[in-house]
A = this chain, B = another copy of it.
């Protein structure tokens, strides 16, 4: 089994021409596509509809190739879009395929996909969600064929937030919620799913966890989780990436921790981590080959107190541009200054994903 990673540039959120060219050229077989992770050129906020347009457009195109309905495509393939291409970030989709292949001599990139059951609104942001996600992460790890949690480098999780409809539903049943504020539920939702990853991978002990820790005990975290919350789904979907014995192909994944949004060294460390063979990891800061980088996935975060390396930034006090947009613009440019490529996945919101102010970055490289 081998994982294919295909970057498709997009001229608009509805642009599937790049995908069609890959299919026509025989580089991607529609039936082998398992996931799509991409950036769209919306504002990244509650009224960003570019994600929906991209999903609908990709689903329509693939429905024609697969002979199924667009709805069936969206059930079969995991779509993760992050809105907001600030600075030099370039709208694109990374298409992941899985196909039969002989095992390589050493560990290679593998993907596992799993989902939880539907969550009730009162479970969102609670230990119930943490445990359900942990269980899904374990299944995804098993599906990927990764024996050692240390070989897991990137876990993308999408989960539900509390929509006004969910709040109303809970009210009608007298159920108690972590918050009644839809936007305010995002930290809980992103945080609980990140802690689920941390629990499954042994990054935190179950004894340290509890409802009251979620979105509060920021010393508990995963260094490989990358989570988001949306109103369009009611279960959690897990996309787990790591290196597995027995996997084929020529790709490997690694990760590092970004100290802040200008941490170019962290970008290099992620690439070096991916490139290094087990037991002989190149030291961080080693020269990297930008051309060998197939994809990068990172989180951008404003400094908790607005100060970056002692200098005040205006991200948190800007009423015109949301701080996540400032943070993505900065980190995207710094990554591109290292790799030369603005078509990278950078999203915002890092509750329980590294220490406050820090953020995870994963790189897939050709070996």
Contacts and interface: CB of A to CB of B under 8 A. Distances in A.
Nearest to A87: B330
Interface stretch (A28-36, A42-50, A110-118, A216-224): A42-50
Interface in A283-341: 308-309, 311-315, 317-322, 325-327, 329-334, 336-338, 340-341
A314 B41 CA distance: 7
B52 A41 contact: no
Contact of A329 (B308, B333, B343): B333
Nearest to A14: B52
A326 B87 contact: yes
A197 interface: no
A319 B44 contact: yes
A284 to B, nearest CB: 15
A88 interface: yes
A45 B323 CA distance: 14
Of A45, A48, A87, A336, most buried by chain B (CB within 10 Å of CB) is A87
A53 B56 CA distance: 8
A2 to B, nearest CB: 26
| A interface, over-half SS | loop
Nearest to A318: B47
A313 B326 contact: no
Contacts of A261: 87-88, 333
A342 B56 CA distance: 29
Given A46-B317, A321-B325, 9 more contacts: A9-B312, A14-B53, A49-B53, A86-B329, A319-B322, A320-B320, A326-B329, A330-B332, A333-B333
Q: Can you list the 10 inter-chain pairs with the closest CB atoms, starting with the nearest? A: A45-B319, A330-B333, A329-B329, A87-B330, A90-B311, A262-B337, A264-B337, A53-B53, A311-B342, A262-B336
Interface of A: 9, 11-14, 41-50, 52-53, 56-57, 60, 70, 85-92, 261-264, 308-309, 311-315, 317-322, 325-327, 329-334, 336-338, 340-343
